[in-house]
């Protein structure tokens, strides 16, 4: 498990912009904002939630925005010893990236060459906080995750709705030793700088921890402010 410190989750904040009772949840219509293509020609759908525009899929790129390659590591020893930008595929199986995206270390997501397409950036701590506040922290697990059990191996007491189209998938993560964990049960995104957003059956929220720079986590890109 990730070692957790300060966190925001569950019922801590009830600062919602919408009353998410069952009746009102069913009236929300996702607002799609077209597609974005990265440097590897991967296509991402986008949605508007509140005043933010998010990619629907986790990042899949193997190159920085300027065309430089991001090294792929598929060896446990090399993963735990690298301090430079790198990515991996869950269980070293590239086919997982088609559905779940790739997992990137901290050096990759903080590199000045940027791993997100032009006009987009790695989601930040404050942007995740804004998203959770908008959908309601106590509702986030229902609101943000994909509905059904096509990918999630456990179901919620209250079914997931995915009403905004955020479509969180249980991509798991790679720990600092290069061990893959939690696919099917949890997802972990970088919350730049040096924090992560976690979503699972029993826990969700933003977790701040300075010791996770060697982890491989998913990335959701957010559109730059105009």
DSSP string across the chain: -----EEEETTS----SS--SHHHHTT---EEEEEEE-TT--EEEEEEETTEEEESSPP--SB-TTSPBPPB---HHHHHH--S--EE-GGG-TTHHHHH--EE-HHHHH-TT-SSPTTEEEPBHHHHHHHHHHH-GGGHHHHHBPSSSSS-SS--SS----TTS--B---BEE-TTS-EE-TTTEEEEEEBTTEEEEEESS-EEEEE-TT-TTSBBB--EEEPP-
Across 52-73, average pLDDT:
98
Q: Is the pLDDT of residue 18 over 50?
A: no
Q: Is the pLDDT of residue 53 over 90?
A: yes
State the pLDDT at residue 215: 96
Task: Identify whether 79 is part of a domain.
Answer: yes
Task: Identify whether 192 is part of a domain.
Answer: yes
Task: Identify whether 24 is part of a domain.
Answer: no
163-193 pLDDT tens trace:
999 999 999 999 999 999 999 999 999 999 8
Task: Identify whether 20 is part of a domain.
Answer: no
Task: Identify whether 12 is part of a domain.
Answer: no
Q: How many domains does the chain have?
A: 1
Task: Identify whether 8 is part of a domain.
Answer: no
Structural domain including 210 reads 31-223
Confidence of residue 155 (pLDDT cuts 50, 70, 90): confident
Q: Is the pLDDT of residue 36 over 50?
A: yes
């Amino acid at each position: 498990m990730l070692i957790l410190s300060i966190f925001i989750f569950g019922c801590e904040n009830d600062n919602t912009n919408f009353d998410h009772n069952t009746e009102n949840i069913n009236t929300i219509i996702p607002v799609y904002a077209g597609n974005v293509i990265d440097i590897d020609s991967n296509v991402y759908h986008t949605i508007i939630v509140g005043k933010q525009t998010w990619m629907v899929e986790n990042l899949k790129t193997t190159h920085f925005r300027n065309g430089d390659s991001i090294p792929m590591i598929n060896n446990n020893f090399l993963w735990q010893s690298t301090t430079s930008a790198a990515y991996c595929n869950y269980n070293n199986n590239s086919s997982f990236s088609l559905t779940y995206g790739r997992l990137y270390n901290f050096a990759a997501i903080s590199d000045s060459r940027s791993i997100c397409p032009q006009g987009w950036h790695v989601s930040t701590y404050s942007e995740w906080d804004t998203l959770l506040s908008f959908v309601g922290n106590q509702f986030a697990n229902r609101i943000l995750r994909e509905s059904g059990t096509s990918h999630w191996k456990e179901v919620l007491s209250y079914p997931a709705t995915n009403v905004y189209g955020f479509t969180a998938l249980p991509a798991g993560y790679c720990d600092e030793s290069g061990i893959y964990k939690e696919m099917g049960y949890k997802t972990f995104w970088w919350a730049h700088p040096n924090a992560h957003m976690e979503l699972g059956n029993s826990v969700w929220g933003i977790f701040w921890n300075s010791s996770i720079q060697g982890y491989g986590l998913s990335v959701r890109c957010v559109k730059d402010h105009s």
